[in-house]
Structure 1
Amino acid sequence: MLQDGKLYIGTSRNPDDSLNKGEYLELKFGNRHGLVTGATGTGKTVTLQVLAESFSSAGVPVFCADIKGDLSGIAAKGEPKDWVTARAEQIGFTDHGYTQFPVIFWDLYGEKGHRVRTTIAEMGPLLLARLMNASEAQEGVLNIAFKIADQANLPLLDLKDLQAMLNYMGEHASELSSQFGLISKASVGSLQRGLLVLEQQGAEHFFGEPALEIRDIMRTSHDGKGMISVLAADKLMMNPRLYATFLLWLLSELFEQLPEIGDPEKPRLVFFFDEAHLLFNDAPKVLVERVEQVVRLIRSKGVGVYFVTQNPLDVPETVLAQLGNRVQHALRAYTPREQKAVKTAADTFRPNPAFNAAAAITTLGTGEALVSTLEGKGAPSIVERTLVRPPSARVGPLTDQERAGVIATSPLAGLYDKDIDRESAFEILSERARQAAEAEAAKKQEEERARTGAQEGSAGGRWSLPGFGDKPADSRTTSGTRPKARSGYQRETVIETAMKSVTRTVANQLGRAIVRGILGGLKR
């Protein structure tokens, strides 16, 4: 429900359970980011749906991931349920009605929505190294691969392009190392094995063309509502690193492509990052710094980022400090870490003298939360214990037939469903390798012909010069027949002819001298 530029979240209540006042999120502060936390089963998904519906009604496009499939029901009209009716009556939500919202379904595998892809080049070496769990040395090789691809005009679009690039680097490691730095064949081999693992995990579906256009997740419907892009993530969650890397890539693309607009009256897009702890688990420092930078600066692009996770400790303090709008559902406090999480969550709120926030967090019921949003000049409001309003769309998944109908009537139907495989690094390097192989084969044939000719020319101790051969032999065998011709005709060379002439001349002169000596002796 939108009221004077504010999104209705729910109604707070006093410690004596009497209703207090409505709790709102001011639309102009929607790009100041937010956090929705709470243990499993406390109502985080319903709160996410309520916020998505509210932003959509205000004309703000939304992107969110559907981890369990429950969020898909936002595309269908809500249905009267006992708890929905009871909650609406309890908080005095008289404007509550049942409706549906414009939805675009996405799926990396193309099974439950439009295919969503990016290219290797757009992913970049940093996120790719994170996806492959690469070491520092391997990340260095990846950076060199991207550098060589840029200089040689070798587009890196899909996994086979990167595989071909790594093969090329391994074969020419010595000469490339002198120009770009050490390229270890061991690192190249490790990266190639990493690509094989990614392919087995289905990452080849994610890399390729047509790549996702950012404008297609920032659409509005014909009636002015923001389109809600829902990413089917139930299968994707089988590879949590791919899931987290994809969402971080999408955030980075938004940051890089959208222009600066300052503080708009309403966000241009709201991005919900569910299971946010997956983004930061075992993340290297450079990646956490990247996330912090994006979250801090993307606000001026008009994009609001809302992290959804179980424990506030899942989000680094440097990122947590950027999240101005907070919805805290119940937490359990059985272990020291959980007790620390409760204290951390309570300390991030502006205190309310009417109750103890730390004590309240452990006693909140399902659908109840501590809420604090930015107000006035951007200061956080006093934390209130709030009953979250019920959604207006269906709470629960769509059927397969309903989902297929939404996909078929989508404004993007047919746009991303077919793969495009244009000429890129794989094809270019394969053609170069083919040409090099043909040239090498021709060179070997030429050398073989030259070697064979040299052996034939030197037969019998005779000399031969290139381009000149022996005269055909005219001698006959003892049987009176010509001998079988050998490969190529034997021809006398110029040198052989000259030497034979000299030999005959010397022989003749020597013969005449001998004859004269004999005859002279007889005369005496």
Structure 2
Amino acid sequence: MGFDGAVPTAERLAQLRAQAAQAKAEAAEAKALAAQAALEAAEAATQTRAHNVSAHVVSSPGGVAATVPISYRPTSSETPTPTTPPVPPPPPAPHVPPAPAHHPAQQLLPFGTHMTQTKPSPHTANNPTLIGFDAQSMNQHGLISGSSGTGKTRTVQVISEALSFAGVPVFIADTTGDASGLALPADTHSPNTTHSAHTPNFPVEFYSIGGTSVGVPIRSTVCDFGPILLTRALGLTAEHEHGLDAVFKWADKNGLPLLDLKDVVAVIHQLTSPDRRTPAQYFGLADVPSADVLLRAIESLRAQGGEQFFGEPSFDTKDVVRQSGQRNALISILELSSVHFLPNLYSAFFLWLIADACQTLPRTRQHTRPTAVFFFDEAEFAFSHASPRFIKQVVATLEKARMHGILVFFVSSSPHNLPVEVAAQLRHHIHHGVRGSFDSDAHIRFVSRALPTFPYDVGALLQTLPRGHAVVSISDSSGIVTPGVWTKVRMPQTSIGSAPPSFIEHHVRSSPGYQRYGTSVDNYSAHEMLAARIAQEQATQQQRLYQDTSKDDLIREAKQVYKSLASTKKKKSKKKNMKQRFDGEFEALLKIAGSHVSKEITRTFLGTRQHK
């Protein structure tokens, strides 16, 4: 009701004053209610953050302290919950402080910056909230997933740097060669820089499987590998594993060391040879066709270059889990460009390396920092056509590794292809973007199940995440997985991309490991021992043949020949002359036979004593 221009009466003025007073009171009450609601929301957000965030302090440039949460979940007051987030443009690079100073008690592993849609979380203008791993609670295996080109190698690089800085040895199985940049500082990544000017910030060793590429060769004897892993390396089924079990059993029983593949071939030939048939209780393959399957699988592995892995000198896993003696822990990089051609050998090698490292390192307490961390790239190849027994062995090995402080991170572009039993062992999750592919839907479903609590539409976000961004969900010391956090991975301190081949070769040739493992050695083993035994058996048979032919047998045979020849002669004169001539030949024959028999007996007698 407004003013119509007429002169108001006293009653009308009183009415207007009452209405104005009532409106003012209502406005004040609404404002008070709004302020009270905002206060309650702020207090609830503070309590939620105090419950969900375990913070550490990292000194940043200028002495400003930056809060680094171990796990962080955005509140509703800070972050809206869109069902389909818009495609974010490349966000401005936030200020990320450098890694903390090296100290034995330092347990923080900085990883990246917490993001809210296209911007860093707005807690402070210059120091946004950072995401990091607490080494004390980092006692679970993990998974790093994402399509090619989304930043998985960068994530491995950043975590490896932080672990090395904290004194934890790292082993990286690299299929792209990009991890070799860890050997070079970030500011020297230039085509005009020569390897003589490179001064690595982290001690790095380069390895290869059996010398198939540039790197210190890693080898293992067949005996150390065992029948289960050899079955996997040959790509055989569980049925043929029993045959290999028998090969190992018979070789152990007869003291035949199995060092390389030619030793296995020699034992199989020995067991299946018709004239040297071994009783069935010592050999599981009674039929020759089954043995032929083993021989064909071994020949196929040889043709692909896998034979170089088996032999001596056998690699000592202490060399990859040892302390470098320098400021930072050792980072070992295994070049695996041929993993696509040898997936079975790769998976068997991975399991052998972890199991052998468990025998090297002692058991640790549950809530201590890891003793070693292994990264295995292209993990989906390790389980292609894997048998249930092999998967069971992998799960058992992973469980045992945790008891020894050994953590394993699988790096995969197809995490949904990992066995369910293995995926259940992986509690730390870092998921990069998913690009268009035929199995992207399965990839997204896998991540959605792994991240049950996440404030965004997982499928839409994964398809729009920029390179270097990831959704991070980690496990605390009790094994509880925290909610997912959108994170921008920090830039590594080392070079992004592959190191020059000339630098890697120079680095390998000057490595102490190359002096120890660089040259293969063909020691005396089952192949040579069986060949010597066969030669000895043949010599013994010949000696027995000569021994059985006595001098009396030779004389009797000679008389029969004489009678036969004498009866054919009809003339007396000729018969007499022939008798005289034959007697002379016969006496010469006896002399030769006696001399021959005496020599064979003497040689056999001395040979037997020498063998005794």
TM-score grouping bracket, smaller chain normalisation: 0.7 to 0.9
Aligned partners of 1:480 and 1:129: how far apart in 2? 73
Instruction: Identify the range of structure 1 (3-12 vs 303-312) with the bigger mean alpha-carbon deviation.
Output: 3-12
The yes-or-no answer on 1:385 pairing with 2:480 is: no
Indicate if the aligned counterparts of 1:72 and 1:230 stay in contact, CA closer than 8 A. yes
The yes-or-no answer on 1:483 pairing with 2:581 is: yes
1:126 shift after superposition:
0.8
State the secondary structure of the residue aligned to 2:272.
helix
Alpha-carbon distance change, 476 to 490 in structure 1, aligned in 2, over 3 angstroms:
farther
The aligned counterpart of 2:137 is 29
The aligned counterpart of 2:543 is 442
Alignment counterpart, residue 366 of structure 2, candidates 224, 242, 263:
263
Indicate if the aligned counterparts of 2:373 and 2:406 stay in contact, CA closer than 8 A. yes
Alignment counterpart, residue 400 of structure 1, candidates 490, 501, 507:
501
Indicate if the aligned counterparts of 1:108 and 1:236 stay in contact, CA closer than 8 A. no
The aligned counterpart of 1:102 is 203
**Equivalences for 1:170-249 in 2 at 5 Å?**
170-171=272-273, 174-249=277-352
Alignment counterpart, residue 425 of structure 2, candidates 299, 304, 322:
322
Alpha-carbon distance change, 257 to 488 in structure 1, aligned in 2, over 3 angstroms:
farther
Aligned partners of 1:115 and 1:129: how far apart in 2? 22
State the secondary structure of the residue aligned to 2:201.
coil
State the secondary structure of the residue aligned to 1:223.
coil
1:253 shift after superposition:
1.6
Aligned partners of 1:490 and 1:476: how far apart in 2? 22
Alpha-carbon distance change, 59 to 350 in structure 1, aligned in 2, over 3 angstroms:
farther
Gaps of 5+ in 2: 1-98, 123-128, 191-198, 565-572, 591-612
1:312-332 per-residue CA deviation (whole Å, 9 max, x = no partner) reads 212122111111111000114
Aligned partners of 2:428 and 2:452: how far apart in 1? 12
The aligned counterpart of 2:465 is 364
Alignment counterpart, residue 49 of structure 1, candidates 157, 162, 172:
157
Amino acid aligned to 2:119: D
**Equivalences for 1:117-516 in 2 at 5 Å?**
117-171=219-273, 174-263=277-366, 265-332=368-435, 335=438, 337-353=439-455, 355-375=456-476, 377-447=478-548, 453-459=555-561, 477-478=575-576, 482-484=580-582, 485-488=584-587
Instruction: Identify the range of structure 1 (131-140 vs 447-456) with the bigger mean alpha-carbon deviation.
Output: 447-456
Alpha-carbon distance change, 479 to 381 in structure 1, aligned in 2, over 3 angstroms:
closer
Aligned partners of 1:481 and 1:379: how far apart in 2? 109
State the secondary structure of the residue aligned to 2:139.
helix
1:344 shift after superposition:
2.0
The aligned counterpart of 1:40 is 148
1:258 shift after superposition:
3.2
1:72 shift after superposition:
0.9
1:7-51 per-residue CA deviation (whole Å, 9 max, x = no partner) reads 111011113634252111111233311100001111111111111
State the secondary structure of the residue aligned to 1:79.
helix
State the secondary structure of the residue aligned to 1:308.
strand
1:480 shift after superposition:
9.5
1:385 shift after superposition:
0.7
Aligned partners of 2:575 and 2:563: how far apart in 1? 21
Amino acid aligned to 1:341: H
Structure 2 length-normalised TM: 0.70
Indicate if the aligned counterparts of 1:58 and 1:225 stay in contact, CA closer than 8 A. yes
Amino acid aligned to 1:276: A
Amino acid aligned to 1:239: L
Aligned partners of 1:183 and 1:208: how far apart in 2? 28
Alpha-carbon distance change, 458 to 348 in structure 1, aligned in 2, over 3 angstroms:
same
C-alpha RMSD of the superposition: 2.7
Amino acid aligned to 1:271: F
1:403 shift after superposition:
1.1
Aligned partners of 1:116 and 1:201: how far apart in 2? 17
1:189 shift after superposition:
2.0
The aligned counterpart of 1:87 is none
1:319-361 per-residue CA deviation (whole Å, 9 max, x = no partner) reads 11111111000114665x42232122022125133x2233312
The yes-or-no answer on 1:69 pairing with 2:194 is: no
Indicate if the aligned counterparts of 1:36 and 1:309 stay in contact, CA closer than 8 A. yes
1:487 shift after superposition:
3.9
Indicate if the aligned counterparts of 2:433 and 2:465 stay in contact, CA closer than 8 A. yes
Gaps of 5+ in 1: 83-97, 463-474, 492-524
Alpha-carbon distance change, 136 to 457 in structure 1, aligned in 2, over 3 angstroms:
farther
Indicate if the aligned counterparts of 1:276 and 1:314 stay in contact, CA closer than 8 A. no
Alpha-carbon distance change, 169 to 379 in structure 1, aligned in 2, over 3 angstroms:
same
The total of aligned residue pairs comes to 462
